[in-house]
A and B are shown apart, each in its own frame.
Chain A
Amino acid sequence: MESNDNIGLSCPMPLSDYPNVLLAHGGGGKLMHQLIEKIFAPAFASPELEVDHDGATLPFAGRRLVFTTDSYVVHPLFFPGGNIGTLAVNGTVNDLAMCGAEPLYLSAGFIVEEGFATESLWQIAQSMKKTADEAGVRIVTGDTKVVDRGKGHGLFINTAGVGAINHNLLINPKQICREDVIILNGDVGRHGIAIMAVREGLEFETTIESDCAPLAKTVMKLIGAGMEIHCMRDLTRGGLATSLVEIAETSGLHIGIEERSIPVRDQVRGACEILGFDPIYVANEGRFVAIVPEKDAARSLDIMRSDWPDACIIGKVTDKHRRLVTMKSIIGAERIVDMLSGEQLPRIC
Chain B
Amino acid sequence: MKYLDEYRDPKAAARFVNEIARITTRPWTIMEICGGQTHAIIKHGIDQLLPEKITLLHGPGCPVCVTSVELIDKAVDIAARKEVIFCSFGDMLRVPGSSKDLLSIKAGGGDVRTVYSPLDTIKIARDNPTREVVFFAIGFETTAPANAALVRQASELNIPNLTVLVAQVLVPPAIAAILASPGNHVQAFLAAGHVCTVMGYTEYEPLAEKYKIPIVVTGFEPLDILQGIYMTTAQLEKGVARVENQYARVVKREGNIEAQKLMKEVFVIINRKWRGLGEIPNSGLGLSEKYLRFDAERRFGLTEHKVEESSMCISGLILQGQKKPYDCTAFGNICTPEHPLGATMVSSEGACAAYYRYRKANV
B139 touching A349, Cβ below 8 Å: yes
Kindly state the interface size class of chain A when it binds its partner: 35 or more
Stretch of B103-111, B170-178, B252-260, B321-329 that contacts chain A: B103-111
Contact B89 A333 (CB under 8 A): no
Tell me whether A349 and B140 are in contact (CB under 8 A). Answer: yes
**Nearest B-chain residue to A333, judged by Cβ:** B45
For chain B, residues 210 to 269, give those with C-beta under 8 angstroms from any C-beta of chain A.
222
Interface string of B108-151 (1 = CB under 8 A from A): 10000010100000000000000000000011101100000000
Instruction: Specify which of B8, B92, B107, B360 is in contact with A331 (CB 8 Å cutoff).
Output: B8
| A7 sits at the interface (CB 8 A) | no
Residue of B14, B93, B108, B358 with highest tally of chain A CB at under 10 A: B358
- Tell me, in angstroms, the Cα distance from A342 to B104 when the chains sit together: 13
Q: Do A347 and B357 touch (CB < 8 A)?
A: no
User: In the bound complex, do residue A332 and residue B10 qualify as a contact, i.e. CB atoms below 8 Å apart?
Assistant: yes
- Contacts of A324 on B, CB cut-off 8 Å? 361
Query: How near does chain B come to A91, taking the closest CB pair, in angstroms?
Result: 25
A42 sits at the interface (CB 8 A) = no
Given the interface contacts A348-B138, A349-B36, A349-B142, does A330 sit within 8 Å of B14 by beta carbon? no
User: Quick check: A348 and B63 within 8 Å, CB to CB?
Assistant: yes
Which A residue's beta carbon lies closest to that of B349? A347
Known contacts A22-B103, A349-B194: does B90 contact A335 (CB below 8 Å)? no
Given contacts A269-B4, A329-B44, A347-B349, contact A23 B103 (CB under 8 A): yes
A334 and B48 in contact, given A20-B108, A200-B116, A348-B143 (Cβ under 8 angstroms): yes
Contacts of A15 in B (CB 8 A): none
A58 adjacent to chain B (CB < 8 Å): no
Q: Is the CB of B45 within 8 A of A341?
A: no
Rounded to whole angstroms, the CA-CA distance of A324 and B360 in the bound complex is 10
Say yes or no: is B359 at the interface (Cβ < 8 Å to chain A).
yes
A119 at the interface (CB under 8 A from B): no
Contacts of B4 in A (CB 8 A): 269, 273
Bound Cα distance from A20 to B139, whole angstroms: 30
What are 20 contact pairs spanning A and B, CB under 8 A?
A22-B104, A23-B106, A24-B94, A31-B338, A260-B10, A321-B361, A330-B10, A330-B44, A331-B14, A331-B45, A331-B46, A335-B42, A338-B360, A341-B337, A345-B93, A346-B91, A346-B116, A348-B89, A348-B138, A348-B139
**Which residues of A line the B interface, CB within 8 A?**
17, 20-24, 30-31, 200, 202, 260, 266, 269-270, 273, 276, 278, 321, 324, 326, 329-336, 338, 341-342, 345-349
B interface residue numbers (CB < 8 A to A): 1, 4, 8, 10, 13-14, 36, 42-46, 48-49, 63-64, 89-94, 103-104, 106-108, 114, 116, 138-140, 142-143, 194, 222, 337-339, 348-349, 356-361, 363
